[in-house]
Structure 1
Amino acid sequence: MRTTFHHTTTNIKLFKEQLLLWAQQFDDVVWLDSNNYEQNYSNYDAVLAVDAFTSLKTDYTQAFEHLKEYQTITNDWIFGYLTYDLKNAVENLISQNFDGLEFPDLYFFQPKKLFFFKGNQVEMQYLKMVDDEFESDLKDILKMELECHPERSRRVSNDIKIKLRIHKDAYFEKINNMLAHIHRGDMYEANFCQEFYAEDTTINPLETYLKLNGISNPPFATFLKYQDKYLLSASPERYLKKQGNTIISQPIKGTAKRSKNAEEDKQLKQDLLDNEKERSENIMIVDLVRNDLSKTAIKGSVEVEELCKIYSFDQVHQMISTVKSKVETATNPVDIIKSTFPMGSMTGAPKISAMKIIEALEETKRGLYSGAVGYFTPTGDFDFNVVIRSILYNETKKYVSYSVGGAITAKSDPLKEYEECLVKAKAMRQVLED
């Protein structure tokens, strides 16, 4: 079904940028880059999928059933995304908040052309129907002149004026409302998000992504293009991975800023590890993930491999746990995703109650933010990130958006939660205002 080619490069960074420039000609692009961050369970350093042969686009109605059928029939690599609003397909929920971006609820495509990076080796898999294009494609990629290329040199056409969907006083009021729900026993943790946005704004999506990635160097970076809509993501978080019969989830809860002073940075990392509130947030979500994984797991196979481990990234320290389970070979991969979606780190506990309260208090439809981007392999394995630390862009509407959130528990201080949001938003704001 596919023809495989190989290419060796002596300058992997240059080849990646040339490849991304070349990819801009297509309407369907998914680029996933680990930035060589040392992590367990990584199969590739980076992957590019371009040019849809077949595709699936749907709203939330019966979305997982459509995806299951498409994944089964295609029996090939498929790449795409799941928006947060697929919660409405899993539970009796609705999404009625403002949506300035208008991404379809679910989109996947079967790429004609695939590029897999490992070290200085690039493996390219082309569908048989286009394998005669490989040599000319490679020549075009290697000829890309980065600085003078029109796609790279297309700059922002106006000063970006970033607005807040929820202003500071309203944010405090909403957090206090959430705390009242917690004290009443309606929930005990929820992830509350707020949007920062700019209207009548033109950006260069690729240039913006490269800047964002350069600042953050995260393990789950993503450049996604679907027609006139873009995701530029510096995500540090894996949502869910299937590797054979093993399922891996790695929720993040707990954030601390970095310092350029080595001693101070070390202390910030230790303070996060010792922070009772941050640990309790993480442990609550671990319990939720264990429960979600148990729905498809072989009895007794759910285990916590890492609990509240601190990982350091360029912008922040994060508290991450790793939860694993085993599934029967006959278990459908889409059912595993459906039974855990949306991810616990972006919802709360109890999950349904938290999602209802979130929907009532947030001002923006989350859409692709706090959803997931990833792929299915021909054998039914998959790997998906969590869409956070991301800029989203609707080119036709000239609408730019980034959202940030944090876990609210009984111990939350509204001012500290607000300040944590600003820490998380720093890289996106810096990239857009630079």
Structure 2
Amino acid sequence: GWVGYFSYDTVRYAEKQKLPFSKAPVDDRNLPDMHLGLYDDVIVFDHVEKKMHIIHWVRLSGNSSFNNVYADGVKHLEELVSRIKGINPPNLPSGSVDLHTSQFGTPLEKSSMTSDAYKNAVLEAKEHILAGDIFQIVLSQRFERRTFAHPFEVYRALRIVNPSPSMCYLQARGCILVASSPEILTRVKKNKIVNRPLAGTARRGKSFEEDQMLEKELLKDEKQCAEHIMLVDLGRNDVGKVSKNGSVKVEKLMDIERYSHVMHISSTVTGELQENLTCWDTLRAALPVGTVSGAPKVKAMELIDELEVTRRGPYSGGFGSVSFTGDMDIALALRTIVFPTQARHDTMYSYKDRDMPRREWIAYLQAGAGIVADSDPEDEHRECQNKAAGLARAVDLAESAFVN
């Protein structure tokens, strides 16, 4: 099937009247709104079973003989297996550092918005909330930094710093995406739709007892719980648009999911896909999810166009796969680093009196905060900084292990 990403701006193709490209923020990176690759050969490595699966796409035309095409496919697979066995393993650079990742992640200074500009945007958003235009909105800003670490080295570091259910290293047209997403944008398997809102966050405790205490505090936090319930309602609405009548269910409500550094409140909404619709209709209904836009969703996105200064691009869109059987598994593009390939520079990197050829890359790290009626602009700005700094730990670790 297809593998790739859908940017946040993909929604503009479905909402042409309310969210036209003409009113979108400036597009200063010129990245594709969508990038999908259709591959003849796929190698899948099962990290749990330690098994490799090799898949070849056999194409049948109207005049094709099934037996002949199948035999050609088997022959191609045998040749591919032989080639793989004959490959010398690549000499990937390895590095080790004896330090704690907590010493990484200093705030990033270069942003698409100044501190005052972001705080003013928060104040303007609160005016719309008090006027009843919206209930909540997610305002983001884009940070950037330069690095001599290769994106794949950053991906290797990210697997250590912030492992998540959906890890991604994707070479797309015009950019490379490195992501560690904890959240589903939409999933369809055998016509069952799954939407899993993830909203409400607390840090992990240093001990089991502290971890349990922080969980209880999170579930008692009225602001975070209210935001989560509102986003569950949005998720039910998104799933309901494409589901059979009476099939939408909240299978799990207000569960706690734990990750390396934080815990989140999670719920699971499911539905049964209408017979006349496909997984693409499910994606159209879900993108972008309420956890990265706001409520009501379309009105919040209209205000995002007014208040944010650059297009989001891949951030808060989705990445994943779509199969020929109609199944779809798309993760939400949060905790995503974008490396534009046109912005890299070949240069000589000086290290310990040696000149080493390395490319300098620009890494874009975007983060947002959910704005409600009682939000404090300073706190929301700091939340964006902290989220981006946490993601930047992977860049710092990659530089320490592979560059310095």
Measured against the shorter chain, the TM-score band is 0.7 to 0.9
Task: Return the match for 2:191 from 238, 242, 245.
Answer: 245
Which structure 2 residues correspond to residues 225-374 of structure 1 after superposition, within 5 A? 225-374=171-320
Paired position in structure 1 for 2:25:
97
The offset of 1:175, in angstroms, is 0.9
Runs of 4+ that moved beyond 6 A: none
Task: Return the match for 2:82 from 135, 147, 151.
Answer: 135
Query: How far apart in 1 are the matches of 2:94 and 2:182?
Result: 31
Q: Deviations over 1:285-322 (max 9, x none)?
A: 11111111111111011111112211110121111111
Higher gyration radius (CA): 2
In structure 2, relative to structure 1, the CA distance for the partners of 1:386 and 1:138 (3 Å cut) is farther
Provide the secondary structure at the position in 2 that maps to 1:405: strand
2:6 equivalent to 1:88 = no
Provide the secondary structure at the position in 2 that maps to 1:339: helix
Determine which structure has greater relative contact order: mean sequence separation of CA pairs < 8 Å that are 6+ residues apart, divided by chain length: 2
Paired position in structure 2 for 1:184:
131
2:48 equivalent to 1:122 = no
In structure 2, relative to structure 1, the CA distance for the partners of 1:297 and 1:242 (3 Å cut) is same
Task: Return the match for 2:390 from 414, 420, 427.
Answer: 427
In structure 2, relative to structure 1, the CA distance for the partners of 1:173 and 1:228 (3 Å cut) is closer
> Does structure 1 conserve the Cα–Cα contact (< 8 Å) formed by 2:369 and 2:383?
yes
The offset of 1:162, in angstroms, is 5.1
User: Structure 1: which amino acid aligns with 2:281?
Assistant: D
Identical aligned residues as a percent: 30
Query: How far apart in 1 are the matches of 2:253 and 2:20?
Result: 33
User: Structure 2: which amino acid aligns with 1:356?
Assistant: E
Query: How far apart in 1 are the matches of 2:86 and 2:291?
Result: 43
Task: Return the match for 1:146 from 86, 89, 92.
Answer: 92
**Unpaired segments of 5 or more residues in structure 1?**
1-76, 150-159
Which structure 2 residues correspond to residues 31-46 of structure 1 after superposition, within 5 A? none
> Does structure 1 conserve the Cα–Cα contact (< 8 Å) formed by 2:108 and 2:388?
no
> Does structure 1 conserve the Cα–Cα contact (< 8 Å) formed by 2:108 and 2:389?
no
Task: Return the match for 1:195 from 142, 148, 167.
Answer: 142
2:94 equivalent to 1:168 = no
Aligned-residue CA RMSD in angstroms?
2.2
Task: Return the match for 1:384 from 330, 335, 343.
Answer: 330
> Does structure 2 conserve the Cα–Cα contact (< 8 Å) formed by 1:101 and 1:393?
no
Provide the secondary structure at the position in 2 that maps to 1:306: strand
**Unpaired segments of 5 or more residues in structure 2?**
58-72, 96-106, 345-361, 398-404
Query: How far apart in 2 are the matches of 1:164 and 1:171?
Result: 10
Query: How far apart in 1 are the matches of 2:387 and 2:108?
Result: 19
Paired position in structure 1 for 2:69:
none
Provide the secondary structure at the position in 1 that maps to 2:113: coil
Q: TM-score, normalised by structure 1?
A: 0.75
User: Structure 2: which amino acid aligns with 1:418?
Assistant: H
Paired position in structure 1 for 2:101:
none
Task: Return the match for 1:219 from 165, 183, 189.
Answer: 165
The offset of 1:366, in angstroms, is 0.4
Q: Deviations over 1:257-290 (max 9, x none)?
A: 2243443333222211111111111111111111
User: Structure 1: which amino acid aligns with 2:378?
Assistant: L
> Does structure 1 conserve the Cα–Cα contact (< 8 Å) formed by 2:367 and 2:387?
yes
Provide the secondary structure at the position in 1 that maps to 2:127: helix
